[in-house]
Each structure stands twice: as C-alpha cells, then as structure tokens.
Structure 1
Amino acid sequence: MQVFITGGTGFIGAHLVRLLLKEGYTVKALVRSSSNLENLRGLEVEIVKGDLNDPNLWQQMRGCQYLFHVAAHYSLWQTDRDLLHHNNVLGTRNVLVAANKAGIERTVYTSSVAAIGVGPFGQVVDETHQSPLEKLVGNYKKSKFLAEQEAMQAVATGQEVVIVNPSSPIGSLDIKPTPTGDIILRFLRRQMPFYLDTGLNFIDVRDVAWGHLLALQRGKPGDRYILGHQNLSLKELLEQLADITGLIAPQRTVPAWLPFTAAWVDENILAPLGKSPSVPLDGVRMAKQPMYYNASKAVRELGLPQSSLKAALKDAVDWFVAQGYVK
C-alpha cells in the first residue's frame, strides 16, 4: 500500500504522514527544494524533490496506489492572486493529470471549508451549501473553489477523487503557523488586548488526518466531506485558552471598521511605498462574519473522530512553548 503525498511537510500533511506510517502504508512525499523538512525528520518516508506543476510529476507517482493531494499555497495578501491560482488551481489540475497518467487508483484532495463559503450571518452550513464564486471573500477562497472544480472535472472523466474540506485544525507541528495557530500564539505572547466578535469551526488536527484516511477507505468519489467539530466564537476559544494556561483572556471587542481601516491603509497605501503590510485586508473581511459548519456527514459516513478540542488546544500550547515560539 504505497501512498504519494503532496504537502507532507505542512501542518495537516505531517500528521497524515505519521498516521499512514502507523497504519502500515509506505509513504512517498513530494517536497519543494525550499521546503522546511523539520516535520518529516526521523520518519521512514521517501522524499522526492519537485513541484506541483512539473509536467513529469507522473513519473514520481509510478508504483503508488493512492494519492493525497494536501499541498496548497495559503495567503490572504491581495498581491498573491497569481501565485494562488498557479499553485492551487493549476497545480491541482497538473497533480490530477499526473495521477491519472501514473495509474493512481484513488485520490483524496484536500480542499477547505473556505471553498464552501458561508451562509447568512452566524448560520451553520454543510456540504450542500455553496456560496457563489463572486461572494467568496479573497483570492485564497476563490482559488480553493476553482481547485475543487478541477477535482470534480477529474471525477467526470473517470478518476476516483474524494474531496475533504477541513475547517480550522488545532494541535502540534503547526510549523508556519496556520491562522488558528497564530491566534493561539498571539494569545500566549499577550499580543491580543482586544478581539473581534466572530467565530470558527475547530477540530483536532489528528482527527483531520484520520478524516483523510477514512475518506480514502470509505469516501464516495465526487463527494465532499467537511472535516470539522465544534463551532466556537473567538471569545469562547480565548476563554478555553485562558483556562488551560492561567492567562487572562481579552475582555473587550474591537469594532470591525478599525482593523479594516488599518488593513486598507496597509495594503493600498503603505505597501506600494515599500512597507511590508501587517494585516491582510481579506483576513479582516473574512473575520467580519462567523464561519460555522456542520460535519455530521463525515461523522456519519466516514466515522470522523470528534476528539476533545481542549486537549488539542493544550497540545498546541505545549508544542509552541517547547519549540520556542513563545518568547
């Protein structure tokens, strides 16, 4: 049972690699020459150097039965529009073409709840919901939606592709870190005197890894499965972090117009003058509305675990502290 994986050095990918090895799979991981390999250190993984858009990528996949396409470029900066399209849309198209040419039997494509969009303010939505492309906030969300269309096109031509849509994973090995990890870090560093009145769906990253493997084993080609667990307001998440760490959670909200104005000035006035922007405008736009999801389909059809979110938060806190992220 040989698996080819893209994105194995990242947060979700690193946990998936560990799970696959534990479950007896042989793993071949595609990494860029510039990739940080720390998350794969000491693991029995065959490393191959390459790029998602390599026309000869199929040759690297030969001999593998299954593919997990986890890799994606994440950015909320408006200047990264072309890079997002190149990696997430065209890269997914090329990976799926390569998989077909290499004789891959089944692929699990890692999308995101970002591709699904959101319902009316605060409404919980499931896989049947789809915000129109023009209503998706930011180029990252749009690129993930278009990449899903590439996966569906592959299904239409006969490939077995199952789509998984993780929400906001939490846990160890968050090396970059992710936006959720950044919230935790800002809390630990006492850099969050205020908070926005918003919310997200959260899940233990190890459950996300299991969701991928279960999708390979039980998922229906052409279907998508939300890999999520609890819907929490940002205030509720910060209160859980306060309970874990003993630190005081921020008590006051900030009106959305304030970070929105700062981000607009950052990206549209200061960035063209050569200053590195600090707050992405699209990130503030996203945060103006809670992003809540219903993962019952994945629980029911795949058997997606629903582990303790508080335990995942403690894992994340302990890992960030141990790795020196918190000064």
Structure 2
Amino acid sequence: MKSLVTGANGFVGSAVIRCLLAAGHEVRAFVRPGSDQQNLTKLPIETVEGDLRDVTSLKRAVTGCDSLFHVAADYRLWVPNPAIMYDVNVSGTRALILAGAEAGMNRMVYTSSVATLGLNPNSLPADEETPSNLASIAGHYKRSKFLAEQTVQELVREHQLPLVTVNPSTPIGPRDVKPTPTGRIVLDTLHGRMPAYVDTGLNVAHVDDIAYGHLLAHQYGKPGERYILGGDNMTLLQILQTIDEITGKPTKRKNIPVKVMLPIAHTMEIVAKITNTEPRATVDSIRMAKKKMFFTSAKAARELGYQSRPAIDAIKDAIDWFRRAGYC
C-alpha cells in the first residue's frame, strides 16, 4: 500500500510518516519546494514537491497512491495576508481531496483540529458533537480550519468518499523543528521567559500518539465521521509547573487577567505589521484564552482503540529533543 502524506516534513506529518513506515506502508511525502526537510532525513520514502495551491502538482502527487493523509496546513496564529491561509487550508484542501477521489484512492484521512469544535461552559470537556459555528471562532487559522472541515464533509456527502476526519488537540513531543506555538511555550519556559500566565487550558497529547491515531483512523474509522485525538486536559499553569518539575527549577508566576493582556497583544500585532514577524501573542489568541479548551477522546478510544500516554511524558520528550537539537 502506498500512502501520500501532505505536510510530511512538519511536526505531526513526520510523526505520521514514521507510524506508516512501521505499519508497512510505502510513503510518498508531499513537501513545498525549498522547505526544511530535516524531519525526513534518512527515512525510506519517496519525496515529491508541490503546493496545495497548484492543482497540477496535486494531481501528480496522488497518482499511484492508494491512501491519502492530508496533514498539511498553514498553521500560524498571525498572518500579514490572511487570504493565503484560506487559499491553502480551504481551497487547497478541496482541490487535493477531489484529486485523490479522481485518482481512485480507497482511503483518506483528513487532519482537522479541535479548533473547529465547540467548547462547553464550566470547563467540561467537549466532544465531536459539541456545537460550534464560524461566528464563535476567533483567528484566521481556526476559522480557515472550520471552513475546510465543512468543505471536506460536503465532499464526503456529495461524492460518497472513503474519508475520515481526525481532530488532534495540542501535540507536544520530539521533532518540533519550527517550533509550533505550543513548542514555543516549552522553550520559553526553559529559557525563563514565562514569569506570568493567563488562566486558560489546553488538551495536551504526545505527537506520536496523535500520529498513531491517524493510522487507527485509516484502519478502523467510519467514512464521514470525525474523531478527537487528544490526551490530558491541563491548565496553562499546570503545563508550566510540569516543565518546572521536570527541570527542577520551580518558578513563582503571576496570573495576568485577560483584560490586561489584550492591549499588550494589540501592541504586539502593531509591531508585527511593522517588522513582518509573528507576534508572541495575538488579540484573537488572548480572547480564546477566556475559555479552557478541554476535550475528550472517548469516541476515538471506543471506536478506534486510541490511547494516549500521560502528558508529562510528552513534555519530557519535547524537552529532551529541544536540548539534544541545540535549542536550549
């Protein structure tokens, strides 16, 4: 079986590739020209270059593949030109799925995000059925993923596609080359740059568990269904204290109210527009911090056999990798 993996050189994509190889899949990795491919070094895979906005490259990539794992996405909390993000995450996803269907693929797994799901009051974990709508979602990345998932579900219904959607939570672990926004939290804490926190929460999962969840979805998922791939629900303070516990460097931190952070984030965005660099915090991300983004993977556990290790193991592996890779 030959599987095409988009976003193959990324944090989650490269972990998915390792799972597929271990399961005996042949892998074709789809990467952007000129992108950093250190996560793919020495892996026994075929690599093809292309762009989700280039339909010709998509048709070339899917040819001869039996399965698709569409992991790629433009994942940034702030973008100077949001239209590019929607072109990649929404239009590009539609074009790729249609190309895969035309090529006769017999299985597709689309990587969405828990960002597309609703949140419950009182910090109760949300599931796949928790209501959500575009108006309640803050930020171009999350809005683009919501629209992309809606597009995928429409294609599944219209064309009876053998496609399963997975909704990963917050991945942490090795090979976070970029690093991701969550990886930056770990690094900033290691460097003593997290003296304060906002009272928010995340669902933390090891990136390799999330990757294995993709394989389980490919094997056992029901077409048209979506599955949360998550781990432990933790407040941001608990995440920071866990890092302190691992490093043996306890730190006293102050709780900064969201209303105080909002003008700071606004200033950061103004500076970002001038310098064309991604801000540490955005207005949308701070607004989202008013809610604890807690989720349950009970459906994936029940229907796919998905399991996740304790979040502290994911954080340990991330710290170890950052240290070995020279980030610290």
TM-score by length of 1: 0.95
2:290 to 288, 291, 294: 288
Paired with 1:12 and 1:194, the residues of 2 have a C-alpha distance of: 28
Alignment of 1:148-163 (within 5 A): 148-156=149-157, 157-163=159-165
Shift of residue 80, structure 1, vs aligned partner: 3.6
Q: Counterpart of 1:6 in structure 2: which amino acid?
A: T
Alignment of 1:159-238 (within 5 A): 159-238=161-240
Paired with 1:82 and 1:275, the residues of 2 have a C-alpha distance of: 16
1:60 is matched with: 61
Shift of residue 214, structure 1, vs aligned partner: 0.3
Q: Counterpart of 1:120 in structure 2: which amino acid?
A: P
1:240 is matched with: 242
Name the stretch that deviates more: 274-283 or 210-219.
Answer: 274-283
Report if the CA contact (8 A) 2:11-2:176 is conserved: yes
Paired with 1:260 and 1:141, the residues of 2 have a C-alpha distance of: 19
Question: Structure 2 vs 1, CA of residues 275 and 21 (structure 1 numbering), >3 Å: closer, same or farther?
Answer: closer
Question: Structure 2 vs 1, CA of residues 87 and 259 (structure 1 numbering), >3 Å: closer, same or farther?
Answer: same
Paired with 1:166 and 1:272, the residues of 2 have a C-alpha distance of: 30
- Kindly report the root-mean-square deviation, in angstroms, between the aligned alpha carbons of the 2 structures: 1.5
- CA deviation profile, 1:86-144 (whole Å, cap 9, x unmatched): 11001100110110111111100000000113222523210001321111111111100
Paired with 2:60 and 2:101, the residues of 1 have a C-alpha distance of: 11
1:264 is matched with: 266
Report if the CA contact (8 A) 1:122-1:292 is conserved: yes
Matched, 1:106 2:107: yes
Alignment of 1:139-150 (within 5 A): 139-150=140-151
Shift of residue 19, structure 1, vs aligned partner: 1.0
Name the stretch that deviates more: 31-40 or 152-161.
Answer: 152-161
Shift of residue 236, structure 1, vs aligned partner: 1.2
Q: What is the SS of the residue equivalent to 2:80?
A: helix
Alignment of 1:246-325 (within 5 A): 246-267=248-269, 269-271=270-272, 273=274, 276=277, 277-325=279-327
Report if the CA contact (8 A) 1:11-1:173 is conserved: yes
Question: Structure 2 vs 1, CA of residues 188 and 270 (structure 1 numbering), >3 Å: closer, same or farther?
Answer: closer
Shift of residue 249, structure 1, vs aligned partner: 3.3
Tell me how many residue pairs correspond in the alignment.
325
1:84 is matched with: 85
Q: Counterpart of 1:28 in structure 2: which amino acid?
A: R
Paired with 1:252 and 1:48, the residues of 2 have a C-alpha distance of: 48
Paired with 1:292 and 1:279, the residues of 2 have a C-alpha distance of: 20
Task: Give 5+ residue unaligned stretches, structure 2.
Answer: none
Paired with 1:243 and 1:162, the residues of 2 have a C-alpha distance of: 38
Report if the CA contact (8 A) 1:154-1:161 is conserved: no
Q: What is the SS of the residue equivalent to 1:249?
A: coil
Name the stretch that deviates more: 37-46 or 249-258.
Answer: 249-258
Q: Counterpart of 2:34 in structure 1: which amino acid?
A: S
Shift of residue 308, structure 1, vs aligned partner: 2.3
TM-score by length of 2: 0.95
Report if the CA contact (8 A) 1:194-1:254 is conserved: yes
Q: Percent identity?
A: 45
Report if the CA contact (8 A) 1:171-1:204 is conserved: yes
Paired with 1:113 and 1:92, the residues of 2 have a C-alpha distance of: 17
Paired with 1:39 and 1:71, the residues of 2 have a C-alpha distance of: 14
Matched, 1:16 2:3: no
Paired with 2:49 and 2:222, the residues of 1 have a C-alpha distance of: 31
Paired with 2:138 and 2:198, the residues of 1 have a C-alpha distance of: 17
Paired with 1:273 and 1:307, the residues of 2 have a C-alpha distance of: 42
